[in-house]
Amino acid sequence: MNDMMRELVDILNKASKAYYAEDTEIMSNFEYDKLYDELVALEKETGITLSDSPTIHVGYEVVSSLPKEKHPAPMLSLDKTKGVDTLRDWLGSQPGLLSWKMDGLTVVLTYDGGELVKAVTRGNGEVGEVITANARTFKNIPLRIAYKGHLVIRGEAVISYSDFERINSEIPETDAKYKNPRNLCSGSVRQLNSEITGKRSVMFFAFSMVDPEDSELMDSFENSFKKRFEFLMRQGFQVVEYKEVTGENIADTVKWFAAKLPENDFPSDGLVLVLEDVAYGRSLGMTAKFPRDAIAFKWADEEAETVLTEIEWSPSRTGLINPVAIFDPVDLEGTEVRRASLHNISYIKDMKLGIGDRIKVYKANMIIPQISENLTCSGELTIPDKCPACGGETEIRNENGTETLVCINPDCPAKNIKLFSLFVSRNAMNIDGISEATLEKFIAEGFLHGLSDIYRLSEHRDRIVLLEGFGEKSYNNILSSIDKSRECSMAGFLYGLGITGVGVANAKLIVKSFGNDFDKIMNATREELRDIDQIGDVIAGDFTAYMSNEKNRAEIEKLRKEITFVIEENNSPQDLAGKTFVITGSLVTFPNRDALKKVIEDRGGKVSGSVSAKTDYLINNDINSNSSKNKNAKKLGVPIITEEDFLGMK
C-alpha cells in the first residue's frame, strides 16, 4: 500500500510541477482529481502522509529569471468539492460570500503611502516572483489609492475570453495559438519586458486582503468579509463578483452563477465560498494545506459521447512522439471539439483505446478537451514502429512506471527544431510567419528533413492548405515570406546554419574578414579563422569541423541554389573600433537592442552580453538602477552611459 501511495505522490507532483511551474499539462484535471482523491483515501486509511505528498504541499518552486521573494505568510490553496450539498453542509448556519474562482495567476499587491510599491506572484505559495513593473501595466489596477497606510491585497490576474480570442486571431498558425486564457495570462504576467504585458490586456480582480496594521481600519471592517470588499472597491479595485449566501439560498445562488457562466467574459474554473464572519473563520484554524474559512466549488464537467477515428502521432524536439486522439466532432461548451491529447502510451493502455471505440469527452475547466471514459475498451491500437517525421525506428520506454514512445534517430529533424527555428529567425533568414509550432507541424508531416526543404514547401501545397489551422491565405503568406528571404545577407545566412560559437557578431566578423566570399569562408582553415580578432581556437575548430562535414556542405550547396547574397555597403566611420559595449534595460531612441547593436558593429565596435574588465561602456538609460550589470560596472569602474550619451559619442 505504501508503494501505491509513493507512486501516486510522484505522479501528482510531476503533474503539479508541469502545471504550476512550466505552464503545461501532462494529464487532465479529471485524471488529476481522481488520483488525488485516491491518495487522500489511502492517507486516511493508513494514517500515513508522505513528506512530499501534494495533500500537504502547495505547488512547486518557480523557474524563471525573475527575482524571487518569500511571502510574509504562506498562501494556501483551498479544499474543494463538486457537490452543492457539501457546500451547504460546510456553511451550516453561518452566512457566507460566494464568488467566482477565477482561472488566471494569483498576484499579491503591496501599497505604501497610497502607491503601488510591489507585486509578487503566488509562486509555490511560499516564494513568488517579483513582477512589479508588469503589474503596473494591468488594465484596471489603481497605481495610487486614497488609503495611505500599509496594505497587502491578494487577487487574480486574468485575461478575458474576448482578449484571448483577439490575441489568438492575430496568430495565423493554429499550433502557435495559445491553448487557453490561463496559459496566456501566466506567460504575460511573468514577462521580462513589461511592454509585452501591457499589450496583453491583463485584468486584476481582488479576492482578499492581509489584515492591515491600522487598528482603526480593522475596527471599521467589523469582522465582515463583505466590508473588506467594499473598502477595496472604494480604493478603486475591482473585486471578484460575489453574492451573499446562507444555507437556505446557496443552491439557488450556485444556479445563478451557472446560468451566468456562458456569458461570463472571464475564465473561471468554479466558485469560492468564504465565511462572512472573518474572526469566526480564523478561529477554525487550518490544516497543513487548507484554511478552514473557505472552500472551492468545481463545476461538474459537461460530457459528450463520440467515436475515436484516428490517433495522430506527433514527434517533438525531445524525441517523444506524442499521441493525439481524433474523433467525430462534438459540441462542448458551445464549441466544436474533435481532438484531445492522450499524454502517453500508459494512458492509452489504461484507457484500453482502439480505433472505432465509443468514448466520452469533456472540456477540463470548460476549455481543454480531454477523454474521460472509454465505453467499448477494445484495446486494439497499434503503436507505430516508425517515426512519422524521419521514418526511423521507435522504441517504447518506461520511466517511473510511465510508458512513452520515442524516436531513437539522433538526426531526426523533429529533434533539430531549434536549428530550423534559428534559420528562419529575424537575425538569420528573417522568414516571417513560420513559428516553431508551424515548423513542428511541417516536420511531423514529413515536409522538412533539411534546411533546404524550407524552399521547397510549395511541393506540399495541396497537403498544407488542408492542415488544421491552415488554408490558402496562410500558405500564401508563408510562401511570400520564403520568397522574400531568397535575397539575404551572407552573415545572416552563416548565423542561420547554427554552427557552434558562431553568433550574429562572429558571423559578421568572418564574412568581413573573407571579403564576402562564401567559397573562401567554406574552405577557411583553422589558422585563418584564428587570425580574426575575437575568433578563438575553440570557435575556429568548431567552424572547420562543421564545414568539413560532407553532409553539411551538401546541404549548404542546396541552400545556395535557392538564395542570392546581398552585399551590404557599410560607409559608417569606424570610430568605435576596439570598443566593447554591453546593452541593458529598456531603450527609448532605438526600437530594440538589435538596432543599437547594429549601429555599434557598423562603426567597428563589439557588443557583449555581460560586463567584464574588458567592457568599455555599459549602455543603460537607468544609470542609478540596482541591476546586476550596473553593480558590476561600478565595481569594475566601467562607465555607465545612456542612449543620449552614446549618440553624442564622436
Query: pLDDT, tens digit, for every residue of 382-422?
Result: 899 998 888 889 999 887 788 889 988 888 887 788 889 88
Distance CA 397, CA 405 (A): 6
Mean local confidence (pLDDT), 449-465: 91
Mean local confidence (pLDDT), 48-52: 63
Distance CA 583, CA 605 (A): 13
Q: What are 12's three cell numbers?
A: 501528482
Q: How many CB atoms lie within 10 A of CB 263?
A: 6
Share of residues in the chain with pLDDT > 90 (%): 36
Q: What are 197's three cell numbers?
A: 504585458
Would you place residue 11 in the very low, low, confident or very high pLDDT band (cuts 50, 70, 90)? confident
Q: What is the pLDDT of residue 639?
A: 93
Q: What is the pLDDT of residue 339?
A: 87
Distance CA 416, CA 390 (A): 12
Q: How many CB atoms lie within 10 A of CB 375?
A: 10
Q: What is the pLDDT of residue 160?
A: 92
Distance (Å) of CA 107 to CA 136, 162, 516? 12, 22, 53
Distance CA 559, CA 263 (A): 52
Distance CA 360, CA 370 (A): 9
Q: What is the pLDDT of residue 110?
A: 95
Q: What are 232's three cell numbers?
A: 477595496
Which of 36-45, 87-96, 152-161, 578-587 has the weakest average pLDDT?
36-45
Whether the Cβ atoms of residue 362 and residue 370 lie closer than 8 Å to each other: yes
Question: Which has the closest alpha carbon to 452: 496, 418, 490?
Answer: 496
Catalytic residue (one of 14, 17, 34, 101): 101
Name the 3-class secondary structure at 28: coil
Render pLDDT for 17-29 as a digit per residue (tens, 0 to 9).
765 555 556 666 6
Whether the Cβ atoms of residue 349 and residue 291 lie closer than 8 Å to each other: no
Q: What is the pLDDT of residue 28?
A: 65
Helix H or strand E segment including 398: strand 394-399
Q: What is the pLDDT of residue 250?
A: 94
Render pLDDT for 260-297 as a digit per residue (tens, 0 to 9).
887 788 988 889 999 999 988 888 887 767 788 899 99
Q: How many CB atoms lie within 10 A of CB 322?
A: 17
Partners of 106 in the β-ladder: 156
Among the residues of 433-536, which ranges form H helices? 436-444, 461-464, 472-484, 490-496, 504-513, 518-522, 526-530
Partners of 396 in the β-ladder: 405
Distance CA 89, CA 92 (A): 5
Is 70 exceeded by the pLDDT of residue 60? no
Is 90 exceeded by the pLDDT of residue 171? no
Is 70 exceeded by the pLDDT of residue 333? no
Q: What are 281's three cell numbers?
A: 473563520
Partners of 122 in the β-ladder: none
Mean local confidence (pLDDT), 546-557: 93
Distance CA 386, CA 119 (A): 50
Distance CA 165, CA 180 (A): 9
Is 60 exceeded by the pLDDT of residue 175? no
Mean local confidence (pLDDT), 355-359: 94
Q: Quick one: angle between helices 436-444 and 417-424, nearest 10? A: 130
Render pLDDT for 606-632 as a digit per residue (tens, 0 to 9).
888 788 888 999 999 888 887 878 888
475596527: which residue's cell?
219
Render pLDDT for 105-144 as a digit per residue (tens, 0 to 9).
999 999 999 889 999 999 888 888 999 988 988 988 888 8
Render pLDDT for 635-648 as a digit per residue (tens, 0 to 9).
899 999 998 889 88
- Sorted by sequence, the CB contacts under 8 Å of residue 94 that are 6+ apart come out as 275, 276, 277, 280
Share of residues in the chain with pLDDT > 70 (%): 91
**pTM of the predicted model as reported, rounded to 2 decimal places:** 0.49
Render pLDDT for 200-248 as a digit per residue (tens, 0 to 9).
889 999 999 998 889 899 999 999 999 999 999 998 899 999 999 999 9
Is 50 exceeded by the pLDDT of residue 63? no
Question: Which has the closest alpha carbon to 420: 539, 598, 551, 555?
Answer: 555
Residue 358, amino acid? R
Would you place residue 522 in the very low, low, confident or very high pLDDT band (cuts 50, 70, 90)? very high
Render pLDDT for 427-455 as a digit per residue (tens, 0 to 9).
899 998 888 888 888 887 888 888 999 99
Q: What are 590's three cell numbers?
A: 532605438
Distance CA 647, CA 650 (A): 8
Q: How many helices (H) and strands (E) does the chain have?
A: 25, 24
Mean local confidence (pLDDT), 482-501: 92
Whether the Cβ atoms of residue 396 and residue 383 lie closer than 8 Å to each other: yes
Region class of 395: left (phi > 0), else alpha (psi between -120 and 50), else beta? beta
- The answer to whether the Cα torsion of 311, 11, 399, 438 is positive or negative is positive
Q: Could you confirm whether 226 is annotated as catalytic? A: no
Name the 3-class secondary structure at 186: helix
Which of 1-5, 18-22, 72-76 has the weakest average pLDDT?
18-22
Is 80 exceeded by the pLDDT of residue 355? yes
Q: What is the pLDDT of residue 62?
A: 46
User: Mean pLDDT, the chain, as a whole number?
Assistant: 85
What is the DSSP secondary-structure string of 117-163?
A: EEEEE-TTSSEEEB-HHHHTT-TT--SB-S--S-EEEEEEEE--HHH
Is 60 exceeded by the pLDDT of residue 57? no
Q: What is the pLDDT of residue 419?
A: 87
Q: What is the pLDDT of residue 2?
A: 56
DSSP 611: -
513559428: which residue's cell?
435
Mean local confidence (pLDDT), 475-482: 93
Distance CA 344, CA 375 (A): 20
Q: Where are the beta strands (DSSP E) in 281-375?
A: 294-297, 303-315, 321-332, 335-341, 358-364, 368-374
524525441: which residue's cell?
319
Question: Which has the closest alpha carbon to 435: 406, 469, 411, 458?
Answer: 469
